[in-house]
A = this chain, B = another copy of it.
Amino acid sequence: MMKRIGIMTSGGDAPGMNAAVRAVSRKALTEGLEVFGINYGFAGLVAGDIFQIDAAAVNDVIKRGGTMLYSARYPEFEKEEVQLKGIAQLNKFGIDALVVIGGDGSYHGALKLTQHGYNAIGLPGTIDNDIPYTDFTIGFDTAVNTALDAIDKLTDTAASHERTFVVEVMGRNCGDIAMWSAVAGGAADVIIPEHDYDIEKVAAKLKSARQRGQKHAIIVLAEGVMHADEFADKLSKYGDFQLRATTLGHVQRGGNPTAKDRVLASQMGAYAVELLMQGKGGLAVGIQNNKLVSHAMTDLFNSKHESHLELHQLVEDLAY
């Protein structure tokens, strides 16, 4: 009979992680469970950096970026001896099961805990939207809106000076942030790892747009392809587009979460507690076609997130 659950955030931080921590905590308290926060992810688990969370402890955190539980990389957790130290801490604090919020990598640790007999449920907390079996991750919508806000600002300058900006956005090997912000930003083109591109055609499109009176442009570039400077260099060989390159950088990881990210985090957090109450573990929560789903973590390790490639074509269609 589960009485106490632990919660941690792991990997890179993402807006909405606090909303998920709040949701797990409040749902568990509503169900009569006790809740313990584990600081610094798996590192803090092993170190016993663990504290009890009551209802007021998560007041108003829903609106804050970052993670109140801190996060850290901790590759050492791959070793069984280290895992056992983590298990010892769970025993010490009487924690029966866990929710781990983080990227793909965090799920490996969560699966190990499950295999040791401590059910763990994973929530997809990353801006990169690169986790299989979920249409959206917690933090993605905020990162897209942050990138978009930057693109809007750059568009002001691009229009005033009739320039072309190459804007490098995050997403590691996933082009979703790039495609969403390109459609939303009215970009002339989007370059992503999942799709070939032909730099001559990019240049040709810019030229014909200029002839139609569209004298400024935004090109969104996913970081997984190359750096903005490099791309601008290559492109500049095919014409004078008044190019400027800019890399949005770490700002995309922070900021108050959007409504969508908070709602998603809240739904997923509550659902994770329900799964734990059903005695389940080793599952990763996702949302597919607006429905909350869960899949075995082992299935995720052999899968790949399906990028929203229909948006690639849409950028093309609307760039006229």
Identify the A interface with B (CB < 8 A): 9, 12-13, 15, 17, 19, 22-23, 26-27, 29-30, 54-56, 59-60, 62-67, 70-72, 135, 141, 144-146, 148, 150, 152-157, 159-162, 165, 180-181, 183-186, 209, 212-214, 244, 246-251, 253-256, 258-260, 262-263, 266-267, 270, 289-291, 310-311, 314, 317-320
Contact = CB atoms under 8 A, between A and B. Distances in A.
B71 A160 contact: yes
Contacts of A180: 259, 263
Contacts of A72: 161
Contacts of A251: 150, 153-154, 246, 248
A318 B247 contact: no
A31 to B, nearest CB: 9
A123 B41 CA distance: 42
A219 to B, nearest CB: 14
Contacts of A17: 160
* Dominant secondary structure of chain A at its interface with chain B: helix
Given A152-B254, A258-B258, A260-B141, A70 B160 contact: yes
Nearest 8 A/B pairs, CB to CB: A153-B254, A66-B156, A156-B254, A289-B289, A65-B156, A56-B213, A13-B160, A184-B262
Nearest to A274: B317
Nearest to A273: B317
27 contacts: A12-B161, A13-B160, A22-B186, A22-B318, A26-B317, A27-B317, A27-B318, A27-B320, A55-B213, A56-B212, A56-B214, A63-B155, A65-B153, A65-B156, A66-B155, A66-B156, A66-B157, A66-B160, A70-B162, A145-B258, A145-B259, A152-B254, A152-B256, A154-B251, A183-B267, A184-B266, A289-B290
Contacts of A244: 250
A274 to B, nearest CB: 10
Nearest to A28: B320
This chain's copy number in the assembly: 4
Contacts of A213: 54-56
B249 A247 contact: yes
B186 A63 contact: yes
Contact of A157 (B19, B214, B250, B266): B250
B153 A255 contact: yes
A291 B56 CA distance: 40
A144 B259 CA distance: 7
A157 B142 CA distance: 14
Contacts of A135: 290
B156 A13 contact: yes
Contacts of A256: 152
